[in-house]
Amino acid sequence: MTLSSPTSPEEPWPVRTVARKIADWINRLGTIWVEGQITQISLRPGAATAFLTLRDPSADVSLTLTCAAAMLRKMEPPLTDGSRVVVHGKPTFFVGRGTLSLRVDEIRAVGIGELLARIERLRQLLKAEGLFDPARKRPLPFLPNRVGLITGRASAAEHDVLTNAQLRWPAVQFEVRNVAVQGSTAVPQILTALQELDRMPEVDVIVLARGGGSVEDLLPFSDEALCRAVSACRTPVVSAIGHEPDSPLVDHVADVRCSTPTGAGKRVVPDVAEETQRIHQLRDRARRALHGWVDRERRLLDALRSRPVLADPFGPLERRAEQVELLHDRARRAMTTALNNERHALTATRSRLTTLGPAATLARGYAIVQRVEDGVDGVLRSVEEAPPGTRLRVRVVDGAIQAVVPDRAG
């Protein structure tokens, strides 16, 4: 019978059969290498077998390990909780307890050099994906409504952030989440706190704070899952991990990196004294600008009022009225003179016309005579032009002499 053989309510398998079949199936599996973080070591004095718990640093998953106690005692340096290791073993199912464990025959502590190499490979991967791109960085709010703080419980980092922020802006409000900041449970707890704060609309900025430590202590802040979670946050994130030389990967993914928790406390809020002084300076500048503008306008008004047109507004009108009257008189005199001249010219012209007219000529004893000889009309300019003894005939029409001709009949 195999593990997949059919069963029925009438023919069920007993527990021992199921356990034995599971054990047989697991025992056929080969050996494997597993990497993780030691979270619990159970090594009783005089015991031949030691029990350990190996945890995934990026997920809430663990696996029980068993190994020879002598092998564990011989390790230098000794294993401690939080150590990163690579183990070689074979899955084993204990029929009596119905538990699965990994029977380990070799444990290798992950050295600093190997840890740094893995961090560097992850750094290059995240950088190639653009998670370090400055264009992704979001600016921090000038004055956040509430600051989210993820840090260790009663830690110096928490004290530094809270104290420095409150010294700069006493009214600042914090939403604190205390988590493990090193060890196997650090990453899951930080991820949970980060997601919780990111969902709160009143939190405008999130600070990740931790004091200094060794490379192993700061490993959670170079975890890939945490880096991707920080990059995916909608709320700006400030990283304040360790001291100035420390540079975990989350520093490159966060929107703002502060070298220390103290720097983070000073960075997330403005200084109330500086802002008050800036307000006073702006008020003084505004006051001086307003006074200067008022003074300029007052001087302009004084200059305008001192001008003759405003000092004596009726004077120019009166002078213009006098000029208009003078010009009016000149125009009247000029027009009168022109009319008189034209009247005299007309009178002279009329006199000349009267003098040169036929009536005046006749009145002086002269006549204008027209004669016709051989079909050609002629005009006698005077009576003396007619031959002696010639009788003249004068034709008058409407009181005017029209013609003077010889009287042929006489």
**227 and 157 share a domain?**
yes
Buried b (16+ CB within 10 A) or exposed e, 283-319: eeeeeeeeeeeeeeeeeeeeeeeeeeeeeeeeeeeee
Q: Are residues 129 and 187 in the same domain?
A: yes
Quick one: 88 and 131 in the same domain?
no
- Let me know: does 22 contact 3? Beta carbons within 8 Å: yes
106 and 128 assigned to the same domain: no
Are residues 91 and 122 located together in one domain of the fold?
no
Q: What is the pLDDT of residue 148?
A: 95
Domain boundary among 249, 270, 291: 270
- 93 lies in the same domain as 74: yes
Check whether residue 102 and residue 124 sit in a common domain. Answer: no
Residues 72 and 196 in one domain: no
Q: Give the residue from 244, 270, 296 where a domain finishes.
A: 270
| pLDDT at residue number 239 | 94
Please give the pLDDT value at position 394. Answer: 59
Among candidates 222, 251, 225, 217, which has minimal Cα distance to 119?
Answer: 222
The position carrying tokens 């740094």 is: 116
The structure tokens listed for 407 are: 């009287």
C-alpha–C-alpha distance, residues 27 and 91, integer Å: 7
Predicted local confidence at residue 22, as pLDDT: 86
Kindly state whether residue 180 falls inside one of the protein's structural domains.
yes
Residues 129 and 203 in one domain: yes
Where does a domain end: 58, 91, 110? 110
The per-residue pLDDT for 127 is 92
Is 229 found in the same domain as 150?
yes
Distance separating alpha carbons of residues 293 and 336, to the nearest angstrom? 60
Question: What's residue 377's pLDDT?
Answer: 47
Which residues neighbour 4 within 8 Å (Cβ) at sequence distance 6 or greater? none
Same domain, 97 and 202: no
The whole-angstrom separation of Cα 350 and Cα 61 is: 139
Q: Are residues 206 and 266 in the same domain?
A: yes
Distance CA 273, CA 271 (A): 5
Q: 263 is written with which tokens? A: 């720097």
In a domain, 152, yes or no: yes
* CATH number of the domain to which 179 belongs: 3.40.50.261
Number of domains present in the structure of the chain: 3
What's the confidence (pLDDT) of residue 259? 87
Q: Count H helices and E strands in the chain, helices first.
A: 12, 14
In this structure, is residue 21 part of a structural domain?
Answer: yes
Residue at 324 is within a domain:
no
CA 275 to chain centre: 22
Residue 316 lies in a domain: no
Q: Is residue 238 part of a domain?
A: yes
Q: Which of 72, 138, 132, 158 is nearest to 107 (CA)?
A: 72
Instruction: Note whether residue 52 is domain-resident.
Output: yes
Neighbouring C-beta atoms of residue 52, cutoff 10 Å? 26
Q: Which tens digit of pLDDT belongs to each residue from 197-247?
A: 999 999 999 999 998 877 777 888 988 999 999 999 999 999 999 776 778
Task: Look at residue 113 in the predicted model and tell me its pLDDT.
Answer: 64
Look at residue 2 in the predicted model and tell me its pLDDT. Answer: 56
Tell me, what CATH number does 52's domain have?
2.40.50.140
Residues of the chain where predicted confidence (pLDDT) is lower than 50? 374-378, 410
Q: Which domain holds residue 401?
A: 361-405
What is the reported pLDDT for 376? 42
Query: Residue 275 domain-assigned?
Result: no
HEC states along 130-170?
A: CCCCHHHCCCCCCCCCCEEEEECCCCHHHHHHHHHHHHHCC
